A and B are shown apart, each in its own frame.
Chain A
Amino acid sequence: MKITILNGDNKSNGNFTGYISELSKILATENTIEVFDLNKMNLKFCTGCWSCWWKTPGECAMKDDAGIIFRSVINSDLLIFASPLTAGFTSSELKKITDRLIVLIHPYIEVRNDEFHHKKRYDKYPEIAVIVEKNSDTDDEDLEIISDIYKRLAINFHSSLKFFKTTDDDGVKEISLAITSTKTQKTQKV
């Protein structure tokens, strides 16, 4: 299975980045993994220009490193949003690229789950998973808020939230198991 990990750690080579690189090593034995350390890349904030929807459909106007991320994400089976928590949410570094993922969906509107959403641009979208590192002030309410927001994102993204894990509760082994089970479920579905 192909997995893309978007690592939103703001600190270069912090503990969290160490965790993610350890996880990706384990996963790489059986999967194709691409990890993007976002803070080491040249990435700009979305400016809301809608070029990707009505000027150059499907392509972002910004000239930076985001193209390789878009390609990796849309061709993956699993997309992992990974980040330490600050101010009660995943990092702005991660939110920066998340905003720009709208390049992968279509402007056209449909009523889905009895709500307004955008249509697909691609036939297939990856499953979504989230891995966060708690901050000293993180509580269960924070985790619930964050996981609910990612569930909403998953709907918009024609996907579903496979798991939401914290590095404190789950070591790399547990997480790699959770990922393997994503794969098993997939195989069963087929």
Chain B
Amino acid sequence: MSLAIINGSPRGLKSNSELLMRNFIEGYCNIIPRIPEQLFLAKASDLAGIPDKIKTSQNIIVIFPLYTDCMPGIVMQFFEDAYESGILNSKNVGFIVQSGFPESKHSVFVERYLEKLCRRLNCNYLGTVIKAGVEGIRIQPPSMTKKLFAAFSLLGEEFAKTGEFDRTIKDQLMGRYEFTGATIGLLKIISKTGAFNMYWNKKLKENNAFKLRNSNPYSEFRN
């Protein structure tokens, strides 16, 4: 099978998307010992080669981080180009959308867009894997990321075997759709304690910016 991975993270090589795909590729190569190429939309030198790579691959996986409840601008630009050139037509195309907030609900709206895009471009839609709560994985200790990386590795392995995203792993990664009932009450209380802000406070302090955290430089006097 021929597979090309389009990495749509604006962070390029230093992205959570890359880290997840590294594990996917590892699993994939357990079955097909030929490393699939990963092309980065954020890397100017990769952009020119994308059309050729897509032409020679029957399977395409596009991974991107959720940006303001949708795809990042560079990914939309890629979709516009594909729409103009027809390059994705008749390909098997799957997506992986990963995001910061812990509920997968945030990503299901763009998923509807992706499914429709495939119909529009006449490509065979392989589905969208959604993984929430990903911000921070690059600095988390291995004990925290072990399960996630193992799941991505298995996702890659199964993909190499079947050319599809395995349903069970996909559901496992999708995790919690939203918080409800008593959990939401508890989360509201925790949220008031500021516990969810520890990551941001740490980073603000590291950058000597903690005191400035509430600045609002663009506001104007208004009556």
Point out residues on A near B: beta carbons under 8 Å. 45-50, 53-59, 67, 70-71, 74-75, 86-89, 91-92, 95-99, 101-102, 104, 106-111, 114-117, 121-123, 137, 141-142, 145-146, 148-149, 152-153, 156
Q: Which residues of B contact A (CB under 8 A)?
A: 9-11, 15, 42, 65, 67-74, 76-77, 79-80, 82-83, 101-103, 105-106, 109-110, 112-113, 116-117, 120, 178-180, 184, 187-188, 191, 194, 196-197, 200, 203-204, 206-207, 209, 212-220, 222
Shortest 9 CB-CB distances between A and B: which pairs?
A: A87-B83, A96-B73, A92-B77, A92-B76, A152-B69, A54-B203, A95-B73, A107-B200, A116-B101
Given A87-B80, A95-B76, A99-B68, are A71 and B218 neighbors across the interface (CB < 8 Å)?
A: yes
User: Given A54-B204, A54-B207, A116-B102, does the pair A74, B73 have CB atoms closer than 8 Å?
Assistant: no
In the complex with contacts A59-B217, A115-B178, A50-B203 CB distance below 8 A: yes
Residue of B nearest to A109 (CB): B196
CA distance A86 to B110 in the complex (A): 15
B218/A156 in contact, CB under 8 A:
no
Complex Cα–Cα for A146 and B112 (A): 10
Q: Are B116 and A45 in contact (CB under 8 A)?
A: no
B216 near A111 (CB under 8 angstroms)?
no
B73 proximity list for chain A (CB < 8 A):
45-46, 92, 95-99
Establish whether residues B112 and A115, one from each chain, have CB atoms under 8 Å apart when the complex forms. no
Q: Bound state CA distance, A24 and B216, in angstroms?
A: 28
Shortest distance between the CB of A96 and any CB in chain B (Å): 4
Contacts of A92 in B (CB 8 A): 73-74, 76-77, 79-80
Say whether B212 contacts A57, CB under 8 Å: yes
B23 to chain A, nearest CB (A): 20
| Bound: A75/B191 CA distance, A | 28
The answer to whether A75 touches B222 (Cβ under 8 A) is yes
**When chains A and B are docked, how far (Å) is the Cα of A174 from the Cα of B106?**
32
Query: Are the CB atoms of B191 and A149 closer together than 8 Å?
Result: no
Which A residue's beta carbon lies closest to that of B12? A47
- Which residues of chain B are near A54, meaning CB under 8 Å? 200, 203-204, 206-207, 209
Whether A114 and B120, one on each chain, are in contact in the complex, defined by CB atoms closer than 8 angstroms, is no
Query: Complex formed: what's the CA distance from A104 to B216 in Å?
Result: 8
Of all chain A residues, the one with the shortest Cβ separation from B188 is: A111
* Residues A109 and B191 in contact, CB atoms below 8 Å apart: yes
Closest Cβ of chain B: how far from A149's Cβ, in Å?
Answer: 5
Complex-state Cα separation, A58 to B215, whole angstroms: 6
